[in-house]
Amino acid sequence: MWKKFIALAFLFCGLTLVVSKSLGVAGLGRFLSFYLLVFYTVGFLWSFGLCIKNRIIPVKKDILVGFGAGAGNFLGSFFMMHALNKISATVVFSIATGGTIITVAFFAVIIFKEKIGIRGIIGILSGTIGLILISI
């Protein structure tokens, strides 16, 4: 089941950015904020509909985590879209992906107390450096 979720996340996260870049190329950059609002509202309504269908009543913690994740993703997409209008997509995606890898690893250690060994650190650094070198 988790493979389906990974595939859907891969598809929709990429789709968001491809559409935003297309809007910028088409000269419709002034609609980026509206596009994001619609995109994330549809995602919220879909999730809300699934809760109703499955008779799930979210508790306060679930709502806060969901809101935090949604707000973080919204802001990340917002800033990435504006960066795409200023510099090339290869640079933006490479730096954003490298930043995501480092941020996730940092929070995994701080919040979830995960242990990252020397191989993990070398992997994170080499992956990030590789992404940045590809964009140059």
H helix runs in the chain, sequence order? 2-25, 32-53, 60-84, 89-110, 118-135
Domain for residue 75, yes or no? yes
pTM for the structure as a whole:
0.69
Range of the domain at 126: 88-136
Q: How many domains does the chain have?
A: 2
The tens digit of pLDDT for each residue in 92-126 reads: 877 887 788 888 888 989 998 999 899 988 988 88
The answer to whether residue 69 scores a pLDDT higher than 80 is yes
Q: Are residues 28 and 80 in the same domain?
A: yes
Is residue 84 within 8 A of residue 92, CB to CB? The reply is yes
Average pLDDT of the chain to the nearest whole number: 83
pLDDT at 103: 87
Last residue of a domain, one of 66, 86, 106: 86
Domain for residue 66, yes or no? yes
Domain for residue 5, yes or no? no
Q: Are residues 80 and 25 in the same domain?
A: yes
By the 10 Å C-beta count (0-12 exposed, 13-18 middle, 19+ buried), 84 is classed as buried
pLDDT at 53: 92
Q: Are residues 69 and 39 in the same domain?
A: yes
